[in-house]
Amino acid sequence: MLNAAITGIGDTPVGRVPGSTATSLNADAALAALRDAGLRPSDIDGFLCAYSITHPHLMMASVLSELLGLKPNFCAAVQAGGASAGILVMQAAALVEAGICRHVLIATGDNRLTGMGRDQAVATLANVGHPVYERPFGISVPAAYALVAQRYMHDHGTTLEDLAHVAVAHRRHAARNPLAQMRESITVEDVMASRTISSPLRLLDCCLISDGGAAIVVSARDAARDLRQPPVAVLGAGQHHTHEHIVASRSLTKFGCTQSAAQAFGQAGLKPSDIDVAGVYDSFTITLVVQLESIGFFEKGETGPAAAAGDLDLGGRLPCNTHGGLLSYAHSGASGGMFHIIEVIRQLRGQAGDRQVTDAETGFVHTDGGILSAHCSLVLGAT
């Protein structure tokens, strides 16, 4: 068990946030996390941020640290694509464990909806792989996940309807969340009828593009005790890094989440069936299906029918992405995974309101990045 606990969470409005910048979203979320924890900027001795694609910046951590009035003993930006959120928590835990910091503030945020156009978005996605070697022959992110979907459906009998049920389940969660970007009810038929982005993935199989920011505070256990909120313990954490580009892999459907989750569960002394609430990266419906089945929450091919039966809902076998996930709540770079972490913490604190999972004591979060290459899993526990 690590020495770290999460003591503060903060987020901004998501979706279309007019006038926002990457800087303002990071800062607003950070200040909200400080307020939540009951900490002042002068209490913070570690600061980490992620990255922005609307405003890439060599000194992002310093700029934000200055803006927030911090004087950290450790300050840097950490970049691991969509896996950044979990990795940032592991890094903060390591800083606490090493005695370098007592309270580490982690901020993320980007204005991807209002801050960039379609061309910049496509160019950025095309740059996730190995453009030096592979452009123009490499594949873009949605196409890579489409290949994964084709193969996974072939191997495990997952159907288009199964994927649609996953999207619908997420929208049901979002309907209970007044802050979610997309709350309008959808049906399996709506998903099936939405336009193809990269076959077999349709528009409603894909995550949103959002403005938004999210921040948390990671503290040493003994420094966490007297703060405003009940601390949430980081019981276990694991990473696994496999192939960056789908073409380099021996298998299209073996993700590193299997290993990263096994490591996190092993450290926590828990197993998937012990988990009360989960936040699992859902960049596409297929991403969630493969990961839930590879981590051991469901058998191969089982997730679609389970989603249809309400197993991912409140009161279901594994309430998952109860905020609405990347599919219906919001996705804004590293904040996307951070939203999963924050939602699980709200659940473990009993602060999830209309979408509270009864007696939630154990939580699991998984974030992944790149084209399936970087995986980070966390097991969290109420204290």
Enumerate binding residues for a second copy (CB under 8 A): 2, 21, 23, 47, 51, 53, 55-63, 65-66, 70-81, 84, 87, 90-91, 93-95, 97-100, 124, 127-132, 238-244, 248, 263, 369-371, 373-374
Q: What is the Cα–Cα distance from 134 to 151, expressed in whole angstroms?
A: 22
Q: Which is nearer to a second copy, 205 or 244 (CB)?
A: 244
- Distance in Å, CB of 145 to a second copy, minimum: 15
Q: Which is nearer to a second copy, 191 or 234 (CB)?
A: 234
> Vertex 192, ends 330 and 256: CA angle to 5°?
55
Per DSSP bridges, beta strands 196-198 and 232-241 are: unpaired
Report the half-sphere exposure of 350 (CA within 13 A, side-chain side): 7
Q: What is the Cα–Cα distance from 328 to 88, expressed in whole angstroms?
A: 24
Could you count the other beta carbons within 10 Å of the beta carbon of residue 226?
Answer: 8
Q: Of all helices (H) and strands (E), which one includes residue 209? A: none
Check residue 43 and report its DSSP letter. G
- Distance in Å, CB of 363 to a second copy, minimum: 21
- Distance in Å, CB of 74 to a second copy, minimum: 6
Q: What is the Cα–Cα distance from 341 to 112, expressed in whole angstroms?
A: 20
Burial code (b: 16+ CB inside 10 Å, e: under 16) for 73-90 equals ebbebbebbbbbbbbbbb
Could you count the other beta carbons within 10 Å of the beta carbon of residue 42?
Answer: 9
Token pair for 268: 């926590």
Q: Which is nearer to a second copy, 72 or 325 (CB)?
A: 72
> Vertex 45, ends 33 and 235: CA angle to 5°?
65
Which residues are CB-neighbours of 147 under 8 A, at least 6 positions away? Answer: 139, 246, 252
- Distance in Å, CB of 322 to a second copy, minimum: 28
Q: Which is nearer to a second copy, 69 or 157 (CB)?
A: 69
- Distance in Å, CB of 213 to a second copy, minimum: 15
Q: Which is nearer to a second copy, 108 or 303 (CB)?
A: 108
Which residues are CB-neighbours of 40 under 8 A, at least 6 positions away? Answer: 34
- Distance in Å, CB of 87 to a second copy, minimum: 5
Q: How far is CA 361 from the centre of its chain?
A: 20
Q: Which is nearer to a second copy, 98 or 193 (CB)?
A: 98
Q: Which is nearer to a second copy, 20 or 177 (CB)?
A: 20
Query: Which single residue is written with the structure tokens 């095309």?
Result: 126
* Distance set, CA 208 to CA 8, 327, 336, 380 (Å): 26, 6, 10, 26
- Distance in Å, CB of 380 to a second copy, minimum: 17
Q: Which is nearer to a second copy, 8 or 333 (CB)?
A: 333
- Distance in Å, CB of 353 to a second copy, minimum: 34
Say if residues 365 and 86 touch (Cβ distance below 8 Å). Answer: yes
- Distance in Å, CB of 49 to a second copy, minimum: 9
Q: What is the dihedral of CA 311, 315, 317, 320, to 10 degrees?
A: 70
- Distance in Å, CB of 370 to a second copy, minimum: 4
Q: Which is nearer to a second copy, 40 or 228 (CB)?
A: 40
Q: Which is nearer to a second copy, 56 or 353 (CB)?
A: 56
